[in-house]
């Protein structure tokens, strides 16, 4: 790929749209995950008794265990959302960009 081709790609409106929308979505999901994770960690640090509460009377499992598992499942969900959006939106934009560049070449 030549420098001229790279410049053409970077100036193309569909490429710019792809970069902006993908970055915005990735940052949104990252901030959401960090918010959930650090809320959990701060709860452990400042209110450990809250997460140490047993699920039921006489149980050795605390409420923190299912919450931790829920956070892991939440991260899988966010990953799935990103993959779905990448396959349904970003790949379409990328294909449109390729078609536009092939027409121009």
Is 84 strand, coil or helix? helix
In the chain, the number of structural domains is 1
First to last CA, the chain: 13
Domain-located, residue 34: yes
1-10, 52-61, 91-100: least confidently modelled range: 1-10
**Is residue 19's pLDDT more than 90?**
yes
Domain-located, residue 52: yes
Based on the number of CB atoms within 10 Å of its own CB, is 85 exposed (0-12), middle (13-18) or buried (19 or more)? middle
Confidence of residue 52 (pLDDT cuts 50, 70, 90): very high
The residue range of the domain holding 51 is: 12-104
Task: Fill in the DSSP letter of residue 47.
Answer: -
pLDDT at 35: 98
Work out the average pLDDT over 36-57. Answer: 94
Domain-located, residue 4: no
Work out the average pLDDT over 51-69. Answer: 94
Quick one: which of 24, 33, 12, 16 has its CA closest to 101? 12
The whole-angstrom separation of Cα 46 and Cα 84 is: 37
pLDDT at 104: 73
Domain-located, residue 42: yes
Domain-located, residue 66: yes
Asked if 53 and 63 touch (Cβ cutoff 8 Å), the reply is yes
Work out the average pLDDT over 26-48. Answer: 96
């Amino acid at each position: 790929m030549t420098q001229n081709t790279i410049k053409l790609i970077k100036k193309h409106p569909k490429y710019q749209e792809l970069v902006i929308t993908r970055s915005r979505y990735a940052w949104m999901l990252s901030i959401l995950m960090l918010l959930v994770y650090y809320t959990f960690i701060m709860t452990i640090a400042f209110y450990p008794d809250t997460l140490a509460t047993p699920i039921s009377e006489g149980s050795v499992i605390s409420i923190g265990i299912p919450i931790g598992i829920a956070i892991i499942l939440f991260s899988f969900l966010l990953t799935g959302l990103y993959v779905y959006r990448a396959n349904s939106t970003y790949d379409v934009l990328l294909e449109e960009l390729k078609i536009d560049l092939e027409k121009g070449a």
